[in-house]
């Protein structure tokens, strides 16, 4: 997979059982909490919250849950100490991985991530050892089956005209990449062209992708699944080529 968040394919509420759906909703609530505490409760002036709400919409997160998360973030009393964390690692076949998370205990989270990596032929590395292989980009994901365009080429042309820097197909999904500061502008132009958007946010896009054997690819996907099971992990990115 070339840069899109693996969580987009790993975490889907439509296919998720009740336990998994509950875990996804807990992760989204934490995402909203952190965003509000950092930048306020107005999505118009808080891009981080705007992206968190986009994620909530993607996974059919109930409106009542959104309101409760925002109230908890701005309310008085002792606040749960939540911190964002980012880990860099190598997976099977030398695949580079960036793991983004939110935790209330950094030491516990680090131990858990190390354990998962060790169990799945992965290895944690020092900060900066992996990140230089990626670029921070805005990413807008659309599903071909939800569109009203004649063909995929017409959809690609709409993306280019809207200001996309690059795009990438995987299955029936299209990731449209933008400069970070132009994400909202490109999203708005796409919507004006009739493009139905599934999600929008910031991604780590690999500068180059790596090809591995089928066995190593399968091992990587098992690692991504295991990482996604962690309550700490929010997003998983890699330079694995499909």
Output the pTM of the full model: 0.87
For residue 102, give the H/E element and its range. Answer: strand 96-103
In this chain, the answer to whether the domains covering 7-74 and 135-206 adopt an identical fold is no
Cα 8-124-110 angle, rounded to 5 deg:
80
Any idea which fold 83-132+208-238 has?
Answer: Alpha-Beta Plaits (3.30.70)
Neighbours of 199 (CB within 10 A): 19
Using pLDDT thresholds of 50, 70 and 90, give the confidence band for residue 222. very high
Cα(107)–Cα(234) distance, rounded to whole angstroms?
Answer: 17
Cα 208-24-164 angle, rounded to 5 deg:
35
Which CATH architecture describes the domain 135-206? 2-Layer Sandwich (3.30)
Using pLDDT thresholds of 50, 70 and 90, give the confidence band for residue 74. confident
Q: pLDDT digits over 125-140, tens only?
A: 999 999 999 999 999 9
What DSSP letter does each residue of 19-54 carry, written as one string? HHHHHHHHHHHHHHHHHHHHH-S-TTT-HHHHHHHH
Q: Reply yes or no on domain 7-74 having CATH 1.10.10.200.
A: yes
Burial class for 84, CB neighbours closer than 10 Å (0-12, 13-18, 19+): middle
Nearest to 164 by CA among 152, 149, 176: 176
Using pLDDT thresholds of 50, 70 and 90, give the confidence band for residue 4. very low
| Region of residue 199 (left: phi > 0; alpha: psi -120 to 50; beta: else) | beta
Q: pLDDT digits over 137-177, tens only?
A: 999 999 999 999 999 999 999 999 999 999 988 888 899 99
Domain positions in the chain are 7-74, 83-132+208-238, 135-206
Residue 23's Cβ-side half-sphere holds a number of Cα atoms within 13 Å equal to: 17
Tokens (6 digits) for 190: 């796409």
């Amino acid at each position: 997979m070339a840069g899109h968040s693996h969580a987009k394919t790993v975490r889907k509420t439509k296919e998720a059982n009740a336990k998994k759906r509950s875990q996804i909703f807990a992760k989204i609530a934490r995402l909203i909490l952190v965003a509000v505490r950092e930048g306020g409760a107005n999505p118009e002036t808080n891009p981080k919250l705007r992206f968190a709400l986009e994620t909530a919409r993607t996974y059919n997160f109930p409106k009542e849950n959104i309101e409760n998360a925002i109230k908890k973030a701005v309310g008085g009393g002792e606040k749960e100490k939540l911190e964002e964390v980012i880990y860099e690692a190598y997976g099977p076949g030398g695949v580079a991985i960036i793991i983004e998370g939110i935790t209330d205990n950094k030491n516990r989270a680090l131990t858990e991530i190390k354990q998962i990596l060790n169990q799945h032929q992965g290895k944690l590395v020092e900060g900066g050892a992996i990140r230089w292989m990626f670029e921070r980009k805005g990413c807008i994901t659309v599903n071909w089956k939800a569109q009203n365009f004649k063909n995929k080429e017409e959809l690609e042309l709409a993306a280019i005209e809207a200001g996309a820097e690059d795009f990438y197909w995987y299955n029936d999904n299209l990731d449209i990449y933008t400069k970070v500061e132009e994400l909202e502008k490109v999203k708005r132009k796409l919507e004006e062209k009739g493009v139905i958007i599934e999600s929008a946010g910031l991604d780590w896009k690999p500068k180059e992708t790596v090809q591995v054997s089928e066995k190593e690819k399968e091992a990587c996907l098992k690692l991504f699944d295991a990482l996604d099971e962690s309550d700490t992990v929010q997003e998983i990115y890699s330079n694995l080529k499909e």
